[in-house]
């Protein structure tokens, strides 16, 4: 019996054509399906045109609509594919990982670095991989790109023009394409023990702050005045923040006292943060900041949005960041 696969299109480069102002996503699912019909013969395919957006324009409101669409259709299909632009794909896949915890079927995001109209594009190859991953029965939210499958909350776009655009950060690939076909490392995925929890609430008043030498500590007061509820700080190295001459520790402490949630990680892509090692990090922990450890920036920001969408209670917020919800973090023992 053929596996039933739903393809949701949201736009992106794969669906783009040249317009007056550059590439614009205009191709619908009928055209995209006509290009992959040959490889899709072994599947029972249905399509939904949800958006036609450059992924730079996909924002939390679109994540919620995507979540609704996945949740409503999950029982009727064996797997779901989302055609999505690459620029914010890792943010979307991370957000969906929190919104749809304990999902029992594969949901696979893919796209391309060149339009499917281009004869040398990566589009059809990525669709082939996404189709096979969507039919794999491996539960979770994934990105399928350039012959690699990555857990959605571990993916990050690290190259702008290479076909090898995405990497799995601090976590092994879920699968790769080799002479064995789609070679899945099933040990990387723990099947859900609990029922699906669909919680779509998000708080968008979250700010990403990348530290630079000389940064003004008053930035936290400004962000508080603007109504921000959470800040994710990309600190130096393993988690260093200045307190000499410009005292970020004191400013962060005041922000936390004013009800703001401060989450701290590293500017470095790999290995993650540990604020307990250096004095510069310990001073921040003493003020009540939370750590993101080895989470990606995309996973950290979207987890902060999702957690603040569920609760404003500081103890409950801390509890959420002391556990892995969807495989997004390795916590120290």
Output the known binding site for substrate.
Answer: 55, 86-87
Are the C-beta atoms of 189 and 141 separated by less than 8 Å? no
For the question of residue 13 being annotated catalytic, the response is yes
- Cβ atoms of 137 and 106 within 8 Å: the answer is yes
The catalytically annotated residue of 9, 10, 13, 188 is 13
Judge contact between 254 and 247, C-beta under 8 A: no
Is 139 within 8 Å of 103 (Cβ atoms)?
Answer: yes
Closest CA to 12 of 92, 72, 73, 95: 92
State the DSSP code for 85: -
Helix H or strand E segment including 212: none
Going by C-beta distance under 8 Å and a sequence separation of 6 or more, which residues neighbour residue 162? Answer: 113
Contact 304, 264 (CB under 8 A): no
Active-site annotation holds for 311 = no
- Tell me which of 9, 10, 69, 86 is the catalytic residue: 86
- Map residue 104 onto helix, strand or coil: coil
Cα distance between residue 6 and residue 18, in whole Å: 27
- Residue keyed to tokens 């109209």: 117
Place of tokens 């989470």: 295
DSSP SS3 for 208: strand
Annotated binding site: 55, 86-87
For residues 303 and 310, the answer to whether their CB atoms sit within 8 Å is: no
Catalytic residues: 13, 86
């Amino acid at each position: 019996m053929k596996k039933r696969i739903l393809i949701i299109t949201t736009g992106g480069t794969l669906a783009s054509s040249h317009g007056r102002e550059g590439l614009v996503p205009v191709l619908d699912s009928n055209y995209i399906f006509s290009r992959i019909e040959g490889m899709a013969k072994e599947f029972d395919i249905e399509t939904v045109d949800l958006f036609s957006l450059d992924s730079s324009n996909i924002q939390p409101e679109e994540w919620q609509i995507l979540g609704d669409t996945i949740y409503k259709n999950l029982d009727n299909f064996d797997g779901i594919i989302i055609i999505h632009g690459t620029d914010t794909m890792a943010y979307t896949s991370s957000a969906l990982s929190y919104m749809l915890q304990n999902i029992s079927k594969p949901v696979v995001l893919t796209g391309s670095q060149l339009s499917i109209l281009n004869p040398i594009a990566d589009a059809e190859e990525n669709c082939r991989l996404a189709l096979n991953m969507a039919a794999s029965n491996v539960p979770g939210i994934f990105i399928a790109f350039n012959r690699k499958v990555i857990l959605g909350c571990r993916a990050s776009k690290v190259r702008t023009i290479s076909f090898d655009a995405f990497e799995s950060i601090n976590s092994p690939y879920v699968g790769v394409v080799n002479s064995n076909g789609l070679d899945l490392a099933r040990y990387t995925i723990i099947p859900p023990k609990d029922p699906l929890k669909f919680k779509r609430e998000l708080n968008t008043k979250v700010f990403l702050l990348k530290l630079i030498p000389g940064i003004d500590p008053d930035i936290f007061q400004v962000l508080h005045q603007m109504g921000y509820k959470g800040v994710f700080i990309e600190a130096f190295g393993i988690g260093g923040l200045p307190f000499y001459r410009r005292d970020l520790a004191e400013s962060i402490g005041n922000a936390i006292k004013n009800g703001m949630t401060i989450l701290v990680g590293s500017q470095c892509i790999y290995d993650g943060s540990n604020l307990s090692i250096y004095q510069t990090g310990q001073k921040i922990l003493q003020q009540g900041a939370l750590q993101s450890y080895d989470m990606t920036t995309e996973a950290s920001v979207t987890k902060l949005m999702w957690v603040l969408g569920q609760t404003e209670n500081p103890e409950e917020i801390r509890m959420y960041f002391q556990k892995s919800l969807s495989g997004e973090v390795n916590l120290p023992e």
